[in-house]
Amino acid sequence: MFPCPARLGKPVTMQKLSFDFFDDSGQPRDSRILMFYSFETEERLARSGILHYHVGERRFVGPRHDRELTEAALAFLARSGRIPPGSV
């Protein structure tokens, strides 16, 4: 997982950003969504991690992540039909 850009004082530019679901997590799919993300930085460093979305609370839980990453993740969840389009 990458350090939070807010802590570093400079934003991280994400290239080749992709998401996938971790559906075998044992979490109930109707209330929680675990998903992988990966991207490359401008320096071509690979970064990846897991995001945990709580459906009932309509928010990501756990460590704070970059706004660009969470906005892209919400758009992916809506496109995939895992959250209603109005949730974004």
Per the DSSP assignment, residues forming a β-bridge with 40 are: 15, 46
Residue 12: the pLDDT is: 67
* Phi, psi at 79, each rounded to 5°: -60, -35
Question: Looking at per-residue confidence, does 74 or 84 come out higher?
Answer: 74
> Is-contact 83 60, C-beta < 8 A?
no
pLDDT, one tens digit per residue, over 2-15 is 444 444 556 668 88
Q: How confident is the model at residue 1 (pLDDT cuts 50, 70, 90)?
A: very low
pLDDT, one tens digit per residue, over 25-44 is 666 777 889 999 999 988 89
